[in-house]
Amino acid sequence: MALEGELDIAKFCPDCKRPMPIKVCMSGAGYYIGQYCNRCGPYNRLSYNYYQTQEEAQKLLETGKWKPRDTNYHPGPMKVIKLKGRKKLNG
């Protein structure tokens, strides 16, 4: 549970204990920056906004220029590295 002025960012899924990186996620409202467990599903929406395209959300995630739901938190740029044809974020 997050304190006032903090985002609730879990490193691991509380149910299955798998890693949950910050990434671009999709919902009926559009794309957002959040956390998604590959086994349990959506966990947390971190961005205040929804974005029309995955590319827009990914660019904002990589540059750190997205607006978080809590205005006291700013993530800064995320470093993107490729692993076996997939992207992994290091922050």
Q: Is residue 14 a part of any domain in this protein? A: no
Residue 5, burial from CB neighbour count under 10 angstroms (0-12, 13-18, 19+): exposed
pLDDT tens across the length of the chain (91 residues): 444 445 668 899 999 999 999 999 999 999 999 999 999 999 989 999 999 999 999 999 999 999 998 755 555 555 554 545 555 555 4
Specify if 4 maps to a domain.
no
Task: Tell whether 11 is covered by a domain.
Answer: no
Quick check: is 63 in a domain? yes
Range of the domain at 70: 22-90
Number of structural domains the chain divides into: 1
Determine the Cα angle at 16 with ends 38 and 32, to 5°: 40
- For the chain, percent of residues with pLDDT exceeding 90: 62
